[in-house]
Structures are given as structure tokens and as C-alpha cells.
Amino acid sequence: MGWTTHEVTNQVPELGDYNLYTSDAALQEGVRREGGQSHEQALLHYGERLGRAETFAMAHEANRHKPELETYDRLGHRVDRVHFHPAWHRFMRMAFLQGMHASAWSTPGAGAQLARAATYLMHGQLEAGSLCPVTMTSAAIPVLQHESWFDTVAPLLYSTQYDERDLPLADKTSMIIGMGMTEKQGGSDLRSNTTRAVPLGTGGRGMPYRLTGHKWFFSSPTSDAHLVLAGHDDVFSCFYVPRWLDDASKNGVHIQRLKNKMGNASNASAEVEFQDATGVLVGEAGRGVATLVEMASYTRLDCVLGSAALLRQGLVQALHHAHHRVAFGQPLVRQPLMQSVLMDLTLESEAATVLALRLARAFDDTSNDPFEQACRRILTPAAKFWICKRTISALGECMEVWGGNGYIEDAPMARLYREAPVNSIWEGSGNIMCLDVLRALKRHPELAVALLDGLEHDCADEPALKRRVAELVSLLTLAGPDLQAAARHIAQELILLVQANLLRQHAPQALADAFIHSRFQLAGRVYGALPGPLTLNSVLERAWPV
């Protein structure tokens, strides 16, 4: 007989077997409000599939086994294969079946971007590594649609049958597209890139070039093609660089090594060398940066969605834990100080979700309305800065709700926390986003006027918001380096004001009032640092209806 010294008590049961869609009031209301009602049945089904205990376990496995690079086969042939855990391929297959990689373009219409955004918000709560190739493929499509040869790849891009095989396109059922922009000497300074392109004939749009150089971060390195920035004739252009050539030989893109990333473990990122790689010029010659920035506008929206997803899952895990864990004679969720922290996190999550869905609706809009354009061009980079930044600290708090158990790799909190910084860094770090906001305000004054006029109108009946809008407008009249130094403050104020008004319009009044009180009147530097109680059981129950 074995010895038994104690019983296991007061440990929180695993979270699983719940529907990510039906348990999220802010997500459901946003889908219906922003035009995605016709997609609800698919969202209900996917929310149930993602919420299964087996799917949580699958996500854990996908991230426990990192991709492995096989540079040469046993006979000495250069193969540059990357081996992924089967669980990663399963998540990719799920994402493709939902159309996350192409549905907004293959079946455009009312709510197409919104429905994709809602799907993304749920998928990202379970497994974030599979989002990168999905994002890159979706963002590449509107760029490639302008090319004369797009119809030759459209059926593969629009296919929902994920094909993991490393084969020429002629032998595949679908394809993935990645991106290669940054180099080791430049990072965000794209005009310092050294990769060069030489025409194989007359040159020009749609013509082949020979590329030589490197990329320091090459997303999803075994994608079927990449959009790459390279210089030629003293300008920079965008090139479509396939993995396999028409003669069924491998293109001259050699993987040097995989990045040993802090998070995003299931997905591969690589350093590559172009050794006379063949690429086709995309867009107008000399407009490579502009072409890839167009692509980045969509990837930045996905960064907002991805961070909102991580924030939501962290909050759900924290609330689940707080309802089950007992300390000092009662559940954590009933402890006054813990309630303040959970309440603050709940406000952050709902504000992020509401804003992310509103931005997705703006990407659905085809009316050329100045306010909708301002949402895409000005608010999206500001949101990427703010929501991605806030998610990092919020997930630290969610982990702390768990105490020591949250710090252990067997539980999901450590993975969520490690995942959080990537959205803030990729596709332009915080400073780049805030400078982009200033650039957009300056270059598109008509959009700036539409945005600020809308804020002044919406805030006119709320003194705290009205004062902050007036201060922001006054600040924006400055010029020179002083305004650049204030870029983070400007992005922050824009997003907080927009979030406050969205909550005032669409969330319960108690929640909106609490958001304004905590963000504009108290402005604590850490979550839960409030001078008085901010406990609204109705708001906590809305966030996680136990």
C-alpha cells in the first residue's frame, strides 16, 4: 500500500468545454452591431470547436514542440524543410476551413471583414502561432489582385483545403504567402535594405528579376511564395518570390536558421539568403515600400485582433480561477482588492474587443466615407500601439491572479504571457506606429478633421471627455520635434477617447462610466490601482457568465 499524506483540495479545474462565442457578450453584440449577423452560425460552431478541452490540449502540444529545420537531406541535397508538430497543421487546417486566410476577398460583401475578425478573435485565444501565415496570406491578396497574372494563383489562394505539402504549386490544392521586409542592419528602416534585384530581361511590372541579399526576419519560411522588398535602379520595389519555380526546381531562397523566439513557439520565423532567387516585380517599380505598407495596414489590424484575443483569454482564465480558488475563507472573486483588479482587466478587454470590431467594420466599408478611412489609416496604427502594449501588462496581471500556478509552463498563462509582446513588435513597433499616426494626420488633413470632429461631437455631453478632446486638438496644432516627442501620448488619447465613446454607445452604462472614471479621472499606472472600490458584479458576470 502506498502512503497518502494529503488530499488535493482548492485546486482550480481545467478550463475547457465551453463556447468561446456564446460566452463573450461583447463579441456577440459587436458581430450583430457591425454587420456580421449572417455569419453567426459559423461563429457559433467555431466557438464550440475551439472551446473543447481537446483543442486546449492540442494548442499546448503545438507550442511545446518547436519547428525544426532540415537544411539537407541524408544524401546531401539542399532541401530547406521545416518540420512542424502535427497539432500546428491541425490549427492551420481549422483556420483554412473557416476562410481566415482569404474569405474577405474570395466572398466579399457585407460583414466579410467583420466575420473574419470575429473568427480571428476566437482562434487567437487558443493558438496564436498559426495566425501569422494566415495573416500574411490574407494581407497579400489585395496587393496581388492588381496584377495581370493573379488569376493563375487565385484558385489556390481562395481554396479552403489547407495543403501542408512542400511541392510546386501545380501539384497543390492551396497556397500560403509570407513576407520578407526587414534586414539585420535596418529593421524598421526599410530604405537601408541591401537586397538587390537585377532584371532578367526588359524589366518592369510583372517581369522576372534575379534577387541577391538576405532577410533577417522571414515570416513563415516554407510558404509557397513571399512578398519581398529589394532595391534596383536606386529605388525599392516589391517582388513576388516563389518557393518553387515553374520547372519544378527550388528557388534560390536558402534558410540559414530558425529564430529561437521567446514566444510564438509553434510558428517558424527564419533568416534567409537570396542566392540568385527569381522574383516577379509587383506593383509599380519604385513603390515597393508603399506596396508593402498597403499590405501592412491589414496585418496591423490583425495585430490588434490577436492582442485582443490574448487579452480576452487571459481575462477568462483569471476569472475562472478567481471563481474557484478560495483564500482567507472565501473565493478570490469576492475579495475586494481582487475585484478591483478583475474589474479593471474586464474594462480593458471589452474596450479592446469593441474597438477591434469597429476597425474591422471600417475595412468592410466601400463608401469612401472620410471617418471610415480615418479609422483605417489613423486609428488602426494607434490601436496597434495601444492595445498591443496594454495586453502585455494585462496578461502579467492575469498570470498573477493565478499566483505561483500561473508561472508554471503546464498551465496556459505562461504561454499567453510570452506570446503577448510579439504583436507590439511585429509589423512596426510602438514608436513606428505612433509616428505613422502623426504622418497620417499630416498627410490626410481631411481624415484628421473627420476623426477629430467626430470625437468632439461624441464627447460634447461628457465633461471629462470634452476636456481631453480639446487638449488633444490644441496639442495637434504644434509643429516640429515637440509634436513627435508627444506621438505616444497622441496615439493613447485617440484610442482612449474612441474606446470611451464606443462603450458609451454600445456597452452597459455602468461599464462605460467605470471605464471613463478609471481611464480619464483616476488613470492608475497598474491595473487595480484605484483609490476607491470599482466593483460591479454585473460587469464581471457579463465578462464571464459562470
Final residue belonging to a domain, choices 258, 285, 312 = 285
| Statement to judge: residues 39 and 108 lie in one domain | yes
| Statement to judge: residues 341 and 409 lie in one domain | yes
Final residue belonging to a domain, choices 285, 303, 338 = 285
Final residue belonging to a domain, choices 285, 308, 328 = 285
- pLDDT for residue 1: 63
Residue 39's H or E segment, with its range, is none
Q: How many CB atoms lie within 10 A of CB 209?
A: 22
Three-class SS of residue 216? strand
| Statement to judge: residues 512 and 444 lie in one domain | yes
Cell of 45: 460552431
Instruction: State the Cα–Cα distance between residues 165 and 383, nearest whole angstrom.
Output: 36
Residues ≥6 apart with Cβ < 8 Å to 22: 28, 44, 47
Residue range 7-33, pLDDT digits in tens: 899 999 999 899 999 999 999 999 999
- Counting Cα atoms < 13 Å in the Cβ hemisphere of 525 gives 0
- pLDDT for residue 294: 84
Q: Would you say residue 241 lies in a domain? A: yes
CATH number of the domain within which 309 lies: 1.20.140.10
| Statement to judge: residues 189 and 81 lie in one domain | no
Full DSSP string of 432-467: HHHHHHHHHHHH-HHHHHHHHHHHHHHHTT-HHHHH
Which residues face 229 on adjacent strands?
A: 238
- Counting Cα atoms < 13 Å in the Cβ hemisphere of 283 gives 24
| Statement to judge: residues 307 and 389 lie in one domain | yes
Backbone angles phi, psi at 234, to 5 degrees: 65, 20
Q: Would you say residue 115 lies in a domain? A: yes
Q: Would you say residue 166 lies in a domain? A: no
Residue range of the domain that includes 183: 176-285
- pLDDT for residue 524: 63
Residue range 349-385, pLDDT digits in tens: 999 999 999 999 999 988 889 999 999 999 999 999 9
Q: Would you say residue 191 has pLDDT above 80?
A: no
Give the residue, 428 or 333, on which the prediction is more confident.
333
Decide if 535 contacts 336 (C-beta within 8 A): yes
| Statement to judge: residues 221 and 110 lie in one domain | no
- pLDDT for residue 181: 86
- pLDDT for residue 534: 65
- Counting Cα atoms < 13 Å in the Cβ hemisphere of 536 gives 18
Q: Would you say residue 18 lies in a domain? A: no
Backbone angles phi, psi at 330, to 5 degrees: -155, 160
Residue type, 314: G
In the chain, % of residues over pLDDT 70: 98
Residue written as cell 510570452? 418
Q: Would you say residue 91 lies in a domain? A: yes
| Statement to judge: residues 198 and 239 lie in one domain | yes
Rounded (10°) CA dihedral 102, 108, 110, 116: 0
Burial call 306-330: b when 16+ CB within 10 Å, e when fewer: bbbbbbbbbbbbbbbbbebbeeeee
Strands 78-83 vs 326-327: parallel, antiparallel or unpaired? unpaired
Q: Give me the mean pLDDT over the 236-256 stretch.
A: 96
Instruction: State the Cα–Cα distance between residues 180 and 198, nearest whole angstrom.
Output: 18
Q: Give me the mean pLDDT over the 455-473 stretch.
A: 95
Q: Would you say residue 175 has pLDDT above 90?
A: yes
- pLDDT for residue 54: 97
Residue range 92-137, pLDDT digits in tens: 999 999 999 999 999 988 899 999 999 999 999 999 999 999 999 9
Q: Would you say residue 383 lies in a domain? A: yes
**CA-to-CA separations, 408 to 314, 319, 366, 404, 405, in angstroms, rounded:** 15, 18, 47, 7, 6
| Statement to judge: residues 320 and 413 lie in one domain | yes
Residue written as cell 498570470? 399
Q: E-strand spans in 26-153?
A: 68-72, 78-83
Q: How many CB atoms lie within 10 A of CB 495?
A: 22
Decide if 358 contacts 34 (C-beta within 8 A): yes
**CA-to-CA separations, 444 to 294, 301, 325, 375, in angstroms, rounded:** 15, 20, 52, 12
Q: E-strand spans in 223-378?
A: 225-232, 235-242, 253-258, 269-282, 326-327, 330-331
Residue written as cell 464606443? 502
- pLDDT for residue 295: 87
Q: Would you say residue 522 has pLDDT above 70?
A: no
Q: Would you say residue 523 has pLDDT above 70?
A: no
Give the residue, 536 or 255, on which the prediction is more confident.
255
Q: Give me the mean pLDDT over the 449-474 stretch.
A: 95
Q: Would you say residue 171 lies in a domain? A: no
| Statement to judge: residues 200 and 303 lie in one domain | no
| Statement to judge: residues 281 and 374 lie in one domain | no
Residue 217's H or E segment, with its range, is strand 208-219
pLDDT-derived band at 471 (thresholds 50, 70, 90) equals very high
pLDDT-derived band at 182 (thresholds 50, 70, 90) equals confident
Residue range 257-308, pLDDT digits in tens: 999 999 999 999 999 999 999 999 999 999 998 888 888 889 999 999 999 9
Q: Give me the mean pLDDT over the 37-47 stretch.
A: 96
Cell of 363: 475595412
Cell of 404: 505561483
Q: Would you say residue 192 has pLDDT above 90?
A: no
CATH number of the domain within which 244 lies: 2.40.110.20
- Domain count for the chain, please give it: 3
Residue type, 143: V
**Can you state the angle between helices 336-364 and 487-506, rounded to 10 degrees?**
90
Tell me, rounded to whole angstroms, the distance of Cα 427 from its chain centroid.
9
Q: Would you say residue 17 lies in a domain? A: no
| Statement to judge: residues 516 and 374 lie in one domain | yes
Q: Would you say residue 142 has pLDDT above 70?
A: yes
Residues ≥6 apart with Cβ < 8 Å to 83: 67, 68, 69, 70
Residue written as cell 490644441? 474
| Statement to judge: residues 260 and 302 lie in one domain | no
Q: Give me the mean pLDDT over the 459-480 stretch.
A: 91
Q: Give me the mean pLDDT over the 41-65 stretch.
A: 97
Mean pLDDT over all residues of the chain? 93
Q: Would you say residue 188 has pLDDT above 80?
A: no
